[in-house]
Chains A and B, each alone.
Chain A
């Protein structure tokens, strides 16, 4: 039972705010974000690291939050879709997703945005193959990916001042 499992206190920075919370050992980072912090932008599409809907940036690297334990995020910095954009302004990538029709049902969108953001921050001008590779772990059943690739490419073309 949840109550009997060992709990640990973690300190994790999420979207610029540091949270200190007691969490059970088996709680995933995804559960921590959704259930403890009510940051529900990251979704659970499979729970076993196969669909990418829960992708967040962990110390700048795109990870499946369902495969990371909350305790592993101790002392780490996490970015979720809720933290993208500042003062109500959208990021270039968020704007491009809207303008290029890269969103349909929207359930995979936050994960793909963060996979793409992670790519662009480490490689501001990726080519199409690199973009395809970066989002190949994010399943989308609606769009057929083309407009997502176009949105990311548009940012990659004029991309220095990202975010």
Chain B
């Protein structure tokens, strides 16, 4: 087996290829772009969670100087969606959430468009709204989508329930969970809640669309996946793929929020109505919170059974997702979180119902970790609660249940010695935080006298990419005259470091210096090869596999030309340091430069031609999950990990200070040590946002109350743990590039669980709802004090 020492580039801390552009301000984002004749779009949004549009008067808006077009939903017979085609481009008939666009205006300036929007008059009739998904399941609940039966959706994968608010019901059925509970020595129940939160990419959603003659369309968009934008756009309007050209330049963060399709169709329709001028549509930060989809909320509930020895024998889980007004990715979040829905543990009998429920709120979409941060908040708190009931150390309880080689997952997959080692991740973080068992109540009471108390906790995580079974990547390596290479991909690097990793693979395989690999920072559906989407921590995995294949293809072409010149068989040629030579006659050699545009003999005869390496990779062996039992193989690769946290709680304020946060992930192989560290730290801090700070707050009428950074806090430089450490376990993934696995999302998952468990250790209080902000913690402390005062009275 090869070690890192054998690699020249793989695993090294090579700095981002686009660093220069980004530190000089020359990197151009869609945010920065303007085109000749460009107009600006703005929208009028619904002020109600659920209301019927009685009438719309746009006459004053149309007269506003500078206005070129005004659109209403009535004139748009289109529906858009990724898995469930359920969304109007502008609300028509009924608006289903506060913040939903109802009327759109395009004008010569943003100011003129805003002024016109203010002149639109809409008469509303408020309707009863579904604001809690649990209420949405009641038989007499209002229906958010009475037309659910008529919607097109991805059949064989999703199970919408017409006549209800359920857009998808994912079932996992393994063994007999009910019967196994009867035989368990201990059964416990627990309920948890995650609020909806926002991605908060620093660049808000923005795009420029242009309707061109002959049903052609050009789009520049801040999105994650050019081909998915194109595909869904084509499906929405019936415009053939080749007529739609999607460009993605530098993107200012995504985190899942820019997967799929968002503003592109509306900007196109405005452009079309305004005579083909390009139209730029940019979300304000407030719209980014209230109009653009978020991470959906989750109510989770567990009934768990274990033996006296601490072996889990049964888990019954119910996940009720607060999906908001449209399905978008939400149905797939509900699906993907279910097949991970027992945590990284072996559970012989498992019964999960995951219900994705429409509500009259801003809708949910993919967000880094895709359902996993949400379900694992409950799962990992539930593990600590169970350990306590069993009288076991929480680390030891996990040890007895983690997935090990030979174990079977809840969808029937057999874990092998190459799948990854969750047990080693657990041991590593326990060691890093100096885990020595949970505190006793006496120890806690003693500590509380000092006004500040400390606690430690661990939480495990796992995730596989949530993606269709046919997911693929492709790459082209196009040689230039001087022997340098353009690497063409349609994966998007919105900060993860994927392009640098792809360039490292190309340099490694082609045997050229990395400075000679150039990755153009713009994907273009007409120029760069197909890729499914940049989501799910699959970009580096599948993209690198495609680049490796493309490099081998290019080397073969180089060798075929060189073989003729050097009069040697192809298989006896060796490539090294930008040269190709005969293995046993190393003096007989050609530089790449002499070959890659075709070789010319002294007399002028020429052979070969421009070298273009071509490679692709498609996920292998994946199956759909059985709709009734959830059994099947959904996972390209599982990345396992663990966090260990030590915290300090201020009893006066309820504020948590994170003293130490250790993270261990089984990444298989490090591709780039610097970007891996960046992904882990960035993910952990984002996870701390979910753990400690972030939540959408709604009024009783379903209005979003905190659509801005004053009331919705994300971590700043002042919110960092005192100490953070990152550790890797290297169990090679057999089909991973050099043995690597995806790791972009994972650092964020289970950060809340580790903090929540440490909080119990510190205070002896179980918290079930996120975020663990000072208010919630303080109230918990007061309740405990009152209860103990009562007892002592």
The interface of chain A, by Cβ under 8 A from chain B, is 1-3, 34, 39-48, 50-51, 53, 80-82, 84-85, 90, 94, 97-99, 101, 103-110, 113, 131-133, 135-149
Contacts and interface: CB of A to CB of B under 8 A. Distances in A.
Contacts of A103: 16, 18-19, 22-23
Contacts of B724: 146
A43 B674 contact: no
Interface of B: 13, 15-16, 18-29, 31-32, 65-66, 109, 111-112, 115, 199-204, 250-255, 284-285, 494-497, 674-675, 677-678, 681-686, 708-710, 714-718, 720, 724
Q: Top 6 A-B pairs ranked by shortest CB distance? A: A41-B25, A107-B252, A106-B22, A144-B685, A104-B495, A105-B495
A37 B425 CA distance: 52
Contacts of B254: 105
A139 B15 contact: no
A109 B23 contact: yes
B327 to A, nearest CB: 26
B495 A142 contact: yes
A125 B443 CA distance: 43
Given A2-B112, A40-B32, A105 B23 contact: no
Given A43-B203, A101-B15, A104-B678, A109 B285 contact: no
B18 to A, nearest CB: 7
Contacts of B115: 1
A136 B66 contact: no
Given A107-B29, A145-B685, A48 B253 contact: no
9 contacts: A2-B111, A50-B285, A82-B24, A104-B678, A106-B495, A131-B717, A139-B200, A140-B202, A144-B715
B203 A136 contact: no
Given A107-B202, A108-B202, 16 more contacts: A46-B285, A48-B708, A90-B24, A97-B19, A98-B23, A99-B15, A101-B15, A105-B202, A105-B254, A106-B18, A110-B23, A113-B23, A137-B716, A143-B681, A144-B681, A144-B683
Given A103-B16, A106-B18, A145-B720, A40 B25 contact: yes
B751 to A, nearest CB: 11
Given A104-B495, A109-B22, A141-B686, A136 B112 contact: no
Contacts of B682: 104, 141-144
Contacts of B284: 47
B678 A85 contact: no
A127 B517 CA distance: 39
A105 B201 contact: yes
Given A2-B111, A101-B677, A107-B203, A141 B714 contact: yes
B251 A105 contact: yes
Contacts of A141: 199-202, 253, 255, 682, 686, 714
A112 B391 CA distance: 50
Given A51-B709, A142-B253, A39 B25 contact: yes
Given A1-B66, A135-B717, A98 B15 contact: yes
Contact of A139 (B22, B202, B678): B202
B252 A84 contact: no
Nearest to A108: B202
Contact of B716 (A107, A113, A139): A139
Contact of A105 (B24, B203, B681, B686): B203
A131 to B, nearest CB: 8
A2 B13 CA distance: 50
Contacts of B112: 1-2
Given A44-B31, A90-B20, A98-B16, A132 B203 contact: no
A147 B677 contact: yes
B776 to A, nearest CB: 23
A141 B253 CA distance: 8
A136 B716 contact: yes
Contacts of A34: 32
